[in-house]
Chains A and B, each alone.
Chain A
Amino acid sequence: MSERQIQLEVLRYNPETDSAPRFQTYAVPCLNEWVVLDALNYVKENLDPTLSYRWSCHMAVCGSCGMMINGEPKLGCKAFIHEYGDSIRVEPLAHFPIERDLVTVVEDFIAKLASVKPYLIPKEDKPVSAGEFKQTPAELMKFKQYTLCINCMLCYAACPQYGLVPEFVGPAALALAHRYNQDSRDGGRDQRQEVVASDEGVWECSFVGACSEVCPKHVDPAGALQQIKVASTIDWYKEHLMPWVKK
């Protein structure tokens, strides 16, 4: 297995001693098969145990190790060393406050995610004895891609709108709202619309499309947001021009 030395530049911030973040460079002997997360683990285990970052699964499922790698939002576990030169710059996810080193404050995202009610709200209560809610493969296809979201927040780090207007509900939360709105078993769209179709909801999106470009799971949040805009616009016309037509 080939090995090469890389310079890993990591943005460090210690809230107890630092007034601002600063870069620290580590010389890391890397195997070519490594990902950036492996290099960080090497630093933590061999060079500097004070380095803080989040990670868990190491297989692009948990969504914990999102970070800026050479300025691009990436999962540390999916960014292969061999795709980079000898110097790699690692920073915390953009647009989120830094808690410590590569650890960001994510409360804002969690609150926004909860605000769109990202769970099934059945159209009507059904006793368990009435059996399962059935769904055809075609009905499943309407929303299947959105179920792949792992809440890694790369899309928020890519979205310039979220960076400039922090009130924006943002790509992942709105895409998940769309996922449940599109589900044939769900009847909660009206409850979600108050947040989803508000000024801070889809209408804050100007379709930069960066969210979909960086998504490590190939979800298309940008598409979901535009589809919500189309549906919400149709709602508006129905309500104002054809009030006799039911939604």
Chain B
Amino acid sequence: MGEEMSRKPYVREISKTTWFLRQPRYMRYMAREVTCIFIFAYTFLLICALGSLADGPDAFQEFLNSLRSPWGVLFNLAVLVVTAYHSLSWFVVTPQAMPIQRGEEFVPGNIIVNAHYGAWAVVSLIILIWGM
């Protein structure tokens, strides 16, 4: 019988702030997560819209005018681009989270993803027509 081996495991510390720089896939993940800041900002904008609406027609008109300013348009454009990236990054992983089994086979992932694109296009179209 051998004696008890002495053990001295070495633990490699991971940086809590720069860990995602190690791998491109971690950076892609962080890009997806960072988009939520823009979603938060836009939600805040909608709350401001409600607040100005509660303050009366003049306040609301002023709010609408601020949206038409160059900064307002720029902010909306930025949010549109980032939100599209946010949504698409979730569409792509939907087949993993919600696979559909038909008999002995799974529905191919690209059909599920494309169904999301289709639904997105239809909803966008309805909103555009309704808003005109």
> Which A residues fall within an 8 A CB radius of B?
13, 15-16, 18, 20-21, 71, 94-95, 97-99, 105, 137-138, 141-142, 160, 163-164, 206-210, 212-213, 220, 222-223, 226-227, 229-230
Chain B residues closer than 8 Å to A164, beta-carbon distance? 14, 16, 19
Beyond A210-B23, A230-B97, 4 additional contacts (C-beta under 8 Å) are A138-B104, A222-B93, A227-B99, A229-B97
Least CB distance, A63 to chain B, in whole angstroms:
20
A105 touches B97 (CB 8 A): no
Interface residues of B in 11-38 (CB under 8 A from A): 11-12, 14, 16, 19-20, 22-23, 25-26, 29, 33
Output the nearest chain A residue to B33 by Cβ-Cβ distance: A206
B8 CB contacts on chain A under 8 angstroms: 15-16
Task: Answer whether A138 and B101 are a contact pair too, CB < 8 Å, given A97-B11, A226-B96.
Answer: yes
Question: Which residues of A sit under 8 angstroms from B99, Cβ to Cβ?
Answer: 223, 227
Chain B 98-132 near chain A by CB (<8 Å), digits 1 or 0: 11010111100000000000000000000000000
5 contacts between A and B (CB under 8 A): A15-B7, A21-B12, A99-B7, A209-B29, A210-B26
**Known contacts A98-B9, A98-B12: A160-B97 contact under CB 8 Å:** no
The residues of B with any CB-CB pair to A shorter than 8 Å are 6-12, 14, 16, 19-20, 22-23, 25-26, 29, 33, 93, 95-99, 101, 103-106
A99–B9 touching, CB < 8 Å? yes
* Interchain CA distance A160-B104 in the complex, whole Å: 34
The reply to whether B9 and A142 form a contact with Cβ atoms under 8 Å apart is: no
- Contacting pair A15 B23 (CB below 8 A): no
Give the contacting residue for A71; candidates B6, B23, B93, B95; CB below 8 A.
B23
Contact flag A15-B104 (CB < 8 Å), given A164-B16, A213-B25, A230-B97: no
In the complex, A99 Cα to B12 Cα: how many Å? 12
Specify the chain B residue showing the minimal Cβ separation from A107: B9
In the bound complex, do residue A98 and residue B10 qualify as a contact, i.e. CB atoms below 8 Å apart?
yes
In the bound assembly, the distance between CA atoms of A21 and B10 in angstroms comes to: 8
Who on chain B is nearest to A91 by CB?
Answer: B12
CB-CB under 8 A for A212 and B19, given A98-B12, A138-B103: no
A141 near B104: Cβ-Cβ < 8 Å:
yes
Chain A neighbourhood of B23, CB < 8 A: 71, 210
The residues of A that contact B104 with a CB separation of less than 8 Å are 137-138, 141
B11 in contact with A209 (CB, 8 Å) = no
Contacts A163-B19, A208-B25; A15 near B6 (Cβ below 8 A): yes
Given A15-B9, A163-B14, A163-B19, A141:B93 Cβ within 8 A: no
What is the chain B residue whose CB lies nearest that of A220?
B96
In the complex, which residue of chain B has the Cβ closest to the Cβ of A20?
B10
